[in-house]
Amino acid sequence: MSERVLLASGKVREIYALDDDRLLLVASDRISTFDVVLPTPIPDKGRVLTGLSAFWFARTSEIVPNHLLDLGDDGRSTVCRRLEMLPVEVVVRGYLSGSGWVDYRATGEICGHVLPAGLRESERLPEPIVTPATKAAEGHDLNIDEAEAADLCGADHYAEAREAAVAVYRFAARHAEERGIVLADTKFELGVDRDGRVMLADEAVTPDSSRFWPLDGYAPGRPQPSFDKQFVRDWCLATGWDRTYPGPELPDDVVSGTRARYVEAFERLTGIEFDRYLADPKVVL
């Protein structure tokens, strides 16, 4: 093992440098809602995120190259290419939900995309749209339109990144739907290597970066139940919490309910039992 130098500690991951070209990302069990890290961890959450990301990276490398080089035996660490990250998050939305629904209701548009009138909450969009956001250093991400994203990234890099993101979204949404899950939207982070190649990085199509809805019972016109963070978000808000630090401690049933939703997303999407992943993480590759 090379010597590791801690570069940064994100809300969820520790980022170590192995050398000039490689990073070690270690996904913790921390959970954040509304950009606040809660005081209570969710056991194995970091393993779910790492395993699912590796599963998608292994299956989409023909669509777009990605940063994954190796997956650790602990199920929560990955060796990856060290990239110059693009300064925007590339969100692909296939359905109308979250901030997209809020913006559409107010203006009929989302991040500059004019949509047909009369769409309902959670309705499938005619085509997936890309709604970039800046990675705010402090506080919350800010939605921007695609022209601004192209300015920030450089037009060529942004064009490549958004095309890759839409293609991976389409692939993952089709795969998920065959397994009874609607991939409503998902956020990608991409970076550029020394040779100028745009690559998929960070995490991919996980419950932290996506909205997953059960296909069974899906009906537009209302919010959908989900296999992601919505459960814990709803619980936190019901306590009257004001979305600022410190977040509430989670009771045992909320911890186990959240863990169960993450594990169910993993098992349904990969078709692999989570216990098998714990025994040998490389089964997802």
Ligand X SMILES: Nc1ncnc2c1ncn2[C@@H]1O[C@H](COP(=O)(O)OP(=O)(O)OP(=O)(O)O)[C@@H](O)[C@H]1O
Where does this chain bind ligand X (CB under 6 A)?
A: 10-13, 15, 23, 67, 80-83, 85, 189, 191, 201-202
Judged by beta carbon, residue 69 or residue 272, the one nearer ligand X is 69
Judged by beta carbon, residue 119 or residue 149, the one nearer ligand X is 149
Judged by beta carbon, residue 125 or residue 168, the one nearer ligand X is 168
Instruction: Tally helices (H) and strands (E) across the chain.
Output: 7, 16
Instruction: Give the Cα separation of 285 and 281 in Å (integer).
Output: 8
Side-chain half-sphere CA neighbours of 196 within 13 A: 3
Residue closest to 36 by CA, chosen among 211, 280, 226, 242:
242
Residue closest to 168 by CA, chosen among 130, 124, 112:
130
Judged by beta carbon, residue 105 or residue 194, the one nearer ligand X is 194
Judged by beta carbon, residue 115 or residue 149, the one nearer ligand X is 149
| Residue whose structure tokens are 């978000």 | 233
Question: Could you tell me the smallest distance in angstroms from the CB atom of residue 81 to ligand X?
Answer: 5
Q: Which two tokens stand for residue 134?
A: 């800046």
Instruction: Give the Cα separation of 248 and 39 in Å (integer).
Output: 7
Instruction: Give the Cα separation of 84 and 234 in Å (integer).
Output: 35
Asked whether the beta carbons of 168 and 188 are under 8 A apart, the reply is yes
Judged by beta carbon, residue 12 or residue 115, the one nearer ligand X is 12
Question: Could you tell me the smallest distance in angstroms from the CB atom of residue 33 to ligand X?
Answer: 12
Question: Could you tell me the smallest distance in angstroms from the CB atom of residue 186 to ligand X?
Answer: 14
Question: Could you tell me the smallest distance in angstroms from the CB atom of residue 106 to ligand X?
Answer: 27
Judged by beta carbon, residue 31 or residue 110, the one nearer ligand X is 31
Instruction: Give the Cα separation of 263 and 47 in Å (integer).
Output: 9
CB nearest ligand X: which residue?
10
Q: Read off the amino acid at residue 268.
A: R
Helix (H) or strand (E) holding 48: helix 45-60
Question: Could you tell me the smallest distance in angstroms from the CB atom of residue 222 to ligand X?
Answer: 29
Question: Could you tell me the smallest distance in angstroms from the CB atom of residue 31 to ligand X?
Answer: 11
Question: Could you tell me the smallest distance in angstroms from the CB atom of residue 47 to ligand X?
Answer: 15
Three-class DSSP category at 147: helix
